[in-house]
Structure 1
Amino acid sequence: MALPKAEVLFGDSPEAPQLSKAEVSTRFDELMAAVTNAPGRTLGPGDVVQAFSEGRGISFDQQPTSAYGAITKAMSSPDIAKGLSAESLASITGALDELKSQQPDLVKDLTTSSPVAGGLVAFDLEAPSKMLTPRPTPLRNRIPRKKGIGLSHRFKVISGFTGTGSGGVGNIHPGIADSTQNNFAPGGASNSLYYARGPKISYAGYDKNVSYSQFSVSDQVTWSAQYAGQGYQDIRQLSRTSLMYSSMLLEERMLLMGRGTAGNGFLGPVAAPTGLALTARSAAAGETALTGVSTNIYVKVTSDAGDFGQSVLTSAATVAPSTQVVDVTVTLPAGATGMRVYVSTGSSDPGDAARWYAGKSGTNTFTLQGALPTSGTAASTVTADTTAYASGYDGILPICTGADSGYVNRLNAVLSTTNPGVEWQNAFVSLYNSVKADPDRTLLNGSDRKQLSDALKGSSSSNYRMTITQDQLTGVTIGDVVNTIINEVTGKGVAVEVHPWMPQGSSVVLSDSLPIPDSEVSDVWSVFNVQDLMGIDWPVNQFAFESSSYWFGTLLCYAPAWNGAITGIKAA
């Protein structure tokens, strides 16, 4: 630690303003000699042992942390005081008192907040950034991807012939006698020629033509972001990786719940709900009565179509609830995964600009309770239908709930606890009776799969029991999950799988292949791409690196009647 200069200690002090440089130097030399000659002692290991054996502890004086503290501590030593003249001692003491007020930096400590608020410390920053971004794409990983050409994909279907019981073709009796004659005029017309032979069979079929759609997302990295990130993370590499995963995740959601327009061979938009009704009632157990409502409640709803949009708004319905709860009930159209609810209050309807999004339901009922929203997404933002897109195709959920599906059942209730899994058994029966389908798997939302598992465990008539063995008495494992539903019609095990993006309240029953020999359908579901996913780095024409993804294709279901859906599963 450096001591102050001699001029600071002895020169221009009130006690000796007339000292010459020689006298200042002499007094400084006296101080240094006194400090050097002061007796000192080093504490050795023997001293420590002796001190403890005698029951005396060892204490260490707090050491000075500044130049001022060091000089002051030194001046308190009697050995130094003896080595200085009275004039020198008085001069040093006066100078120190003056320095204490005039030069505060001599007594300021260096701490984690001084002299810089953030401290003179390093940052323990771990590189690179952590990618806590879930990116499961089970459908994309499973569905076969095949090569497409042109602008659309076409195929022809023979949906039934006499004896199949499908395609709307009726059955005939094949019995004949020697005298049996039938007219074989083309196209069902009649002529005068009859032949001795059995009746002629009939056929049903249709053409399918679905358009290919183009898809793309993009990202940009400014030069400043890329170069400032050097040494921490390659921002351009992060952008490319994120762009790829984003494309795959968006395609996964399209495969599950996308909707195309009818003009391109798809189902088209979902209609708005009908029959909107509001019913005020007392709050039940687990519900919270409405608060902050002194006048009327006004509600509009839309049909929910999953991640990509909603229908147009219904007309408003109103009710005066007081401190009750309000049930919002509608009739949902085909293809809707549920409804979204917008609510406002007032003595008169304040309009859509003050009607706020209150939540959504996977069933036909939504309960308004607690504090109603007073901000957020306004109903006025719903200006057009966004359930279907011209650059889009029908996903699995729309196909399984559409007009060509083999089975659709809207429960609007919780799953059965009396006969767990009966909802799926009903689907299996219907699909078998119509086209002899034998499904392979069912996809559920995670909450709905838990409800199915809980229904099994909580049922009094399911013959389900929990057994604790001797070695589990101090470490019992609890919980169980349904991973297979046995098709009670065919005896086949149907896999129960959670899809990470499946909306709560909906489940699909899928066939991956057909139990029909020579069907010419190797895969019920296929992705056809004219161009599969690729990445493009654009030429640099500004201070930024820009990238895009691109793919061009569609999803096909060759046999929608071999698939089905269960919707309106009420949350437990």
Structure 2
Amino acid sequence: MALPKAQVLFGDSPEAPALDNAEVSRRFDELMKAIDAAPVRTLHQGDIAKAFGEGRGIEFNAQAPTTAFEALTKSLEGDIGKAISPDALASVTSALEALKAEQPDLMKDITTSSPLSTGLVAYDLEAPAKMLTPRPTPLRNRLPRRKGIGLAHQFKVISGFTGTATGGVANIHPGIVDTSQTNFAPSGAGNALYYARGPKISYAGYDKTVAYSQFSVSDQVTWSAQYAGQGYQDIRQLSRTSLLYSSMLLEERMLLLGRGTSARNFLGAVAAPTGLTLTARSAAAGETALSGVSTNIYVKVTSDAGDFGQSVLTSAANVAPSGGQVVDVTVTLPAGATGLRVYVSTGSADPGDASRWYAGRSGYNTFTLQGALPTSGTAASAITGDTSAYTAGYDGILPICTGSDSGYVNRLNAALSTSNPGSEFQTAFAALYDAVKADPDRVLFNGSDRKQLSDSLKTSSSSNYRMTITQDQLTGVTLGDVVNTIINEVTGKGVHVEVHPWMPQGNAPIISDTLPLPDSEVSDVWAVYNVQDMMGVDWPVTQFAFESSSYWMGALVCYAPAWNGAITGIQKA
């Protein structure tokens, strides 16, 4: 706070006539000398100890001044007031009383909201920013990565010969007699040559071409962001690290869920569901009756293709539910669909796709509309075409395991069995063994589906399972159990049960990592071939920004789709 002007302190006042400047100056100098001469005493810890003795409590009753006005008044009552003349003291006191009314800021306290509403306080900001970003990539970490060349990876397959009962090659009886003769003429030859030999065997095979695709994502850091962040975080370093992890996570999802177009010899787009029906029924235990619905409900659905897209929309179906009811949306899902997505609208007439909102997804063929229906979000009008397959893409593990070349696919459209836990997978193991003598290595689950499988042991009516809760020597109890292996009842091999962090609920691919075939020339059933493995590029600075991109070019190759399978349509418990 600045001191008041000398003329305000010593000039005109009710107690004194007007003074000339010389008298004002003299009185001001007298006040300053008195302030400088005031005794100062600093009380140190040693002084306190001498005055009161070690360890004794001290109580201070004097009230310290709380405002600037009180501080000045207190000073005038002490040594400063005694050192100046009575006229000067009266003049200063009068001036302070006038300033008390004219300058109320002299009376304000400094608090956390005064004199600034935000307070004169430090900002306790902890640097750097916390990276709460899950980034597991188990498939990318496990699958071998090999060098590719050209525009596609190609290989040839002998899928069967006589005696394997695979590849469409029929078995023959090898028995002969002395008079047996077999035609050994080359295929298409005009002259038949017969020899006394056993019948010839046959072969089946095919060529396989897996086209490579290019992939890239980018990021940008403006100069202002980089330089303003100095002292808090290196924004360029954050950008590069995030770009790397983003690229790896997107590749992980491609390895699991990617779909290429049929024009490039991949599985192609997923078809839309068929047989859409809406059924209104009374809300069951655990369900919430529809609210806010007084007219018809109109629904369209698509086939879910995982993280990257969905099929085109179906035509609309409608129903008029009553109070206390929910509506079941039921479809027939096509091959390759990971589930269905539902879009809903209400009205006396269909309001159209612009007012039809995304209501959720299901991992099997039924979705139940309940509670308050959505009135905003993603509109069905945003679906202008199929996004389930991409030209710059390849088929991932789940599409291959549910595709036309898979060894086994079963869409349950129901929860996992509790009467015979794991029976669905035993059926799959048996079918794969019968077809090609497959002996799978692992099953990939969504977290809730694995939990359902584990819970099925606890509720099983079968006497083949018993769970024991063990108590230690103190008071602890270990509660709960989890399925980590399914014993293949056909081959006796343990099939590992694993949760994949990005697996869509309702789907469980059955994976073979290797083949139980000697000299198959297949060391790994699944492999990634990259013409260029993942790399980072820092672009030249052409504007006020630092720009980076990742780049890789390759594809996922599955040498033996028939040794893999899938259970789909698992109803969420």
> TM class, shorter-chain normalised?
over 0.9
Letter in 1 for 2:158: I
State the partner residue of 1:543.
544
Q: Does 1:463 find its partner at 2:471?
A: no
**Residues 79-124 of structure 1: CA distance to partner in whole angstroms, max 9, x if unpaired?**
8777776645543332111011223333333333232332233322
**Contact kept? 1:6, 1:28, Cα under 8 Å:** no
State the partner residue of 2:69.
68
Classify 1:150/1:51 alpha carbon distance in 2 versus 1 (closer, same or farther; 3 Å).
Answer: closer
Letter in 1 for 2:423: V
State the partner residue of 2:253.
253
Q: How does 1:278-293 map to 2 (within 5 A)?
A: 278-293=278-293
Of residues 121-130 and 371-380 in structure 1, the stretch that sits farther from structure 2 once superposed is 121-130
**Contact kept? 1:364, 1:568, Cα under 8 Å:** yes
State the partner residue of 1:14.
14
**Contact kept? 2:10, 2:27, Cα under 8 Å:** no
**Contact kept? 1:219, 1:546, Cα under 8 Å:** yes
Of residues 67-76 and 138-147 in structure 1, the stretch that sits farther from structure 2 once superposed is 67-76
Structure 1 distance, partners of 2:216, 2:80, is: 84
**Residues 386-417 of structure 1: CA distance to partner in whole angstroms, max 9, x if unpaired?**
10111100000000000000010111111111
Q: How does 1:368-407 map to 2 (within 5 A)?
A: 368-407=369-408
Of residues 33-42 and 333-342 in structure 1, the stretch that sits farther from structure 2 once superposed is 33-42
TM-score using structure 1 length: 0.93
**Residues 437-461 of structure 1: CA distance to partner in whole angstroms, max 9, x if unpaired?**
1111111111111111111223242
Structure 2 distance, partners of 1:159, 1:420, is: 34
State the partner residue of 1:307.
307
Classify 1:13/1:466 alpha carbon distance in 2 versus 1 (closer, same or farther; 3 Å).
Answer: farther
Classify 1:41/1:455 alpha carbon distance in 2 versus 1 (closer, same or farther; 3 Å).
Answer: closer
Of residues 404-413 and 36-45 in structure 1, the stretch that sits farther from structure 2 once superposed is 36-45
State the partner residue of 2:482.
481
Structure 1 distance, partners of 2:28, 2:122, is: 44
CA positional deviation for 1:524: 0.3
State the partner residue of 1:431.
432
Of residues 128-137 and 61-70 in structure 1, the stretch that sits farther from structure 2 once superposed is 61-70
Classify 1:28/1:541 alpha carbon distance in 2 versus 1 (closer, same or farther; 3 Å).
Answer: closer
Classify 1:534/1:83 alpha carbon distance in 2 versus 1 (closer, same or farther; 3 Å).
Answer: closer
Of residues 119-128 and 377-386 in structure 1, the stretch that sits farther from structure 2 once superposed is 119-128
SS at match of 2:473: helix
SS at match of 2:450: helix
Structure 1 distance, partners of 2:41, 2:254, is: 83
**Contact kept? 1:31, 1:84, Cα under 8 Å:** no
**Contact kept? 2:357, 2:377, Cα under 8 Å:** yes
SS at match of 2:187: helix
State the partner residue of 2:274.
274
State the partner residue of 1:533.
534
**Contact kept? 2:469, 2:479, Cα under 8 Å:** no
CA-based RMSD of the aligned residues comes to 2.6
State the partner residue of 2:558.
557
Q: How does 1:410-425 map to 2 (within 5 A)?
A: 410-425=411-426
Q: Does 1:184 find its partner at 2:184?
A: yes
**Contact kept? 2:406, 2:564, Cα under 8 Å:** yes
**Contact kept? 1:295, 1:322, Cα under 8 Å:** no
- Identity score, percent: 74
Classify 1:518/1:349 alpha carbon distance in 2 versus 1 (closer, same or farther; 3 Å).
Answer: same
CA positional deviation for 1:280: 0.3
**Contact kept? 2:66, 2:109, Cα under 8 Å:** yes
Q: Does 1:492 find its partner at 2:499?
A: no
State the partner residue of 2:352.
351
Classify 1:240/1:51 alpha carbon distance in 2 versus 1 (closer, same or farther; 3 Å).
Answer: closer
Classify 1:51/1:466 alpha carbon distance in 2 versus 1 (closer, same or farther; 3 Å).
Answer: closer
Letter in 1 for 2:567: I
Classify 1:101/1:206 alpha carbon distance in 2 versus 1 (closer, same or farther; 3 Å).
Answer: same
CA positional deviation for 1:13: 2.5
Letter in 2 for 1:197: R
CA positional deviation for 1:251: 0.6
**Contact kept? 2:345, 2:357, Cα under 8 Å:** yes
Structure 1 distance, partners of 2:61, 2:37, is: 21
SS at match of 1:186: coil
**Residues 25-59 of structure 1: CA distance to partner in whole angstroms, max 9, x if unpaired?**
45874797599689999794476579979xxx834
**Contact kept? 1:35, 1:74, Cα under 8 Å:** no
**Residues 291-336 of structure 1: CA distance to partner in whole angstroms, max 9, x if unpaired?**
1111101100000000000000001111001221000000000000
Classify 1:192/1:94 alpha carbon distance in 2 versus 1 (closer, same or farther; 3 Å).
Answer: closer
Structure 2 distance, partners of 1:535, 1:437, is: 40
**Contact kept? 1:533, 1:551, Cα under 8 Å:** yes
Structure 1 distance, partners of 2:51, 2:461, is: 81
SS at match of 2:105: helix
Structure 2 distance, partners of 1:192, 1:88, is: 142
Structure 2 distance, partners of 1:94, 1:190, is: 136
Classify 1:35/1:250 alpha carbon distance in 2 versus 1 (closer, same or farther; 3 Å).
Answer: closer
Letter in 1 for 2:470: I
Structure 1 distance, partners of 2:39, 2:20, is: 27
**Contact kept? 1:31, 1:83, Cα under 8 Å:** no
**Contact kept? 1:48, 1:58, Cα under 8 Å:** no
CA positional deviation for 1:5: 6.2
Letter in 2 for 1:435: V
CA positional deviation for 1:15: 2.1
CA positional deviation for 1:230: 2.0
State the partner residue of 1:316.
316
Classify 1:399/1:565 alpha carbon distance in 2 versus 1 (closer, same or farther; 3 Å).
Answer: same
Structure 2 distance, partners of 1:428, 1:530, is: 35
CA positional deviation for 1:530: 0.8
Of residues 106-115 and 238-247 in structure 1, the stretch that sits farther from structure 2 once superposed is 106-115
| Structure 1 unaligned spans of 5+ | none
SS at match of 2:443: strand
State the partner residue of 1:105.
105
Of residues 421-430 and 521-530 in structure 1, the stretch that sits farther from structure 2 once superposed is 421-430
Structure 2 distance, partners of 1:97, 1:51, is: 44
Of residues 383-392 and 93-102 in structure 1, the stretch that sits farther from structure 2 once superposed is 93-102
State the partner residue of 1:360.
361
State the partner residue of 1:122.
122
Letter in 2 for 1:521: V
**Contact kept? 1:273, 1:332, Cα under 8 Å:** yes
SS at match of 1:187: coil
Structure 2 distance, partners of 1:400, 1:196, is: 46
Structure 2 distance, partners of 1:82, 1:182, is: 140
Classify 1:144/1:41 alpha carbon distance in 2 versus 1 (closer, same or farther; 3 Å).
Answer: closer
Q: What count of residue pairs does the alignment treat as equivalent?
A: 567
Structure 2 distance, partners of 1:466, 1:399, is: 40
State the partner residue of 1:334.
335
Letter in 2 for 1:558: Y
| Structure 2 unaligned spans of 5+ | none
TM-score using structure 2 length: 0.93
